[in-house]
Amino acid sequence: MIERIHLAHLPTPIDALPRLSRSLGGPQLFIKRDDLTGLGLGGNKTRKLEYLAADALAKGSKTLITTGAVQSNHCRQVAATATKLGLGCQLILAGGEPAEVQGNLLLDKLFGAQIFYTSKSNRDKHLQERFEQAKQDGMKPYLIPYGGSNSIGALGYLNAMQELSEQGLEPDWIVFASSSGGTQAGLILGAHLTGFMGQILGISIEYNSDHFSAQIADLVNQTAMEMEYDWSVTPDEVLINDSYCQAGYGVLTPAEIEAVNLFASTEGILLDPVYTGRAAAGLLDLIRKGFFKPEEKLLFWHTGGTPALFAEPYSQGLVK
């Protein structure tokens, strides 16, 4: 049984989006604000870290070590968690060292993380090497996988589904950004455990759905197994739309630019260029194509990421 520590401001609010709904001619839209989880500017990873950091503390670890892109929201939230708990933090960031320190990277440094740069292809190898080195150096490291997406991190979104079930809104669809899969795996398992009747639709940020839905199904099943809960899903029960990630990870297209601008100009809500901007672009496209029924209620689950708005190359491309 994994204990949980409190890091996030929960429950996160649910707001209606009437001006956005009207501008699209329906359906009814709502947003769940996990960009407001609080710690270190918030985001979805803080929910996962309530379980991952609890496990690290239970094991007597002294250093959190993880990996992500240079503008990783995950790494920024790990760095904030480490600081709050008085632990060290090592981040293996994929991509070259940028000329200017902006956005998430700036926050990583404010939180005192030790940063190592690597290439995307060497990311996991470098993470493992750093972990071994930190062990030898007596730093008692705790390795958090890419995106915090393992059977411990997924518990954060299982718990989030429990939270939603107590908030009184029963959406027909939950739509959100899915990337390393832990958020979706937790939502799927939590939906089953709470008797949620709607659909859970991940908009893929990076991966094609055939491989990705199998990976998420594995994570759901592993998490259920470790909870000694006898239930499983098959990949075809995992709803992933991969139509909006074909430009590649972190590539800003007119679709993300429109989504970020539309949410900002109708509702005063900030999305991020890489994850929530892409997921919202998918949501807008599906609404315009008539994918949802007019009477359905849609919940867009905001997963955070706004610090990347303030970083090159995104900051310039977003406004005219």
Ligand X SMILES: Cc1ncc(COP(=O)(O)O)c(C=O)c1O
Of residues 147 through 206, those in contact with ligand X by CB under 6 A are 147, 149, 177-184
* DSSP state, residue 36: G
Q: How far is the CB of 150 from ligand X (least distance, A)?
A: 11
Contact 179, 305 (CB under 8 A): no
For ligand X, which is the closer residue by CB, 63 or 276?
A: 276
Q: In the complex, which residue's CB is closest to ligand X?
A: 305
Q: Does 67 bind ligand X (CB under 6 A)?
A: no
String of contacts with ligand X for each residue 293-312, x by CB under 6 A: ----------xxx-------
88 vs 202, beta carbon nearer ligand X: 202
Q: How many other C-beta atoms can be found within 10 angstroms of the C-beta atom of residue 236? A: 9
Is 32 among the residues that bind ligand X (CB under 6 A)? no
Helix (H, G, I), strand (E, B) or coil at 222: helix
Which parts of the chain fold into alpha helices (H)? 18-24, 45-58, 73-85, 103-110, 123-136, 155-165, 182-194, 209-226, 254-267, 276-288, 314-317
Stretch that binds ligand X, among 6-14, 98-106, 134-142, 268-276 (CB under 6 A): 268-276
Decide: residue 316, CB within 10 A, 0-12 exposed, 13-18 middle, 19+ buried: exposed
Tell me the number of residues near ligand X by CB under 6 A: 20
**Nearest distance in Å: CB 73, ligand X:** 3
Is 72 noted as a catalytic residue in this protein?
yes
User: What is d(CA 307, CA 130) in angstroms, rounded to the nearest whole number?
Assistant: 26
Whether a cis peptide bond, with omega within 30° of 0, leads into 145 is: no
Q: Least distance from C-beta 22 to ligand X, angstroms? A: 26
Quick one: 44 or 81, whose CB is closer to ligand X?
Answer: 44
> In whole angstroms, what is the distance from residue 315 CA to residue 102 CA?
10
Could you tell me which of 23, 42, 22 has the C-alpha nearest to residue 34?
42
Where is 178: in which H helix or E strand?
Answer: strand 173-178
Whether residue 313 is preceded by a cis peptide bond, meaning omega within 30 degrees of 0, is yes
Report the run of H or E that residue 243 belongs to, with start and end.
Answer: none
Q: How far is the CB of 85 from ligand X (least distance, A)?
A: 21
Site string (91-130) toward ligand X, x via CB under 6 A: ----------------------------------------
State the first-to-last Cα distance of the chain, in angstroms, to the nearest integer.
Answer: 51
Interface pick for ligand X out of 275, 292, 300, 314 (rule CB under 6 A): 275
For position 276 contacting ligand X by CB under 6 A, the verdict is: yes
Binding status of residue 73 toward ligand X by CB under 6 A: yes
Name the residue among 146, 147, 139 with its Cα closest to residue 114. Answer: 139
Shortest distance (Å) from residue 294 CB to ligand X: 28
- Active-site residue, from 21, 23, 61, 72: 72
Stretch that binds ligand X, among 128-136, 236-244, 252-260, 271-279 (CB under 6 A): 271-279
Give the shortest CB-91-to-ligand X separation in angstroms.
13
* Closer to ligand X by Cβ: residue 62 or 202: 202
Residue 130 tokens, joined: 């750093």
| Whether the Cβ atoms of residue 8 and residue 275 lie closer than 8 Å to each other | no
- Asked if 61 is part of the footprint of ligand X (rule: CB under 6 A), the reply reads no
Q: Could you list the residues that contact ligand X (CB under 6 A)?
A: 43-44, 73-74, 147, 149, 177-184, 272, 275-276, 303-305
State the catalytic residues. Answer: 72
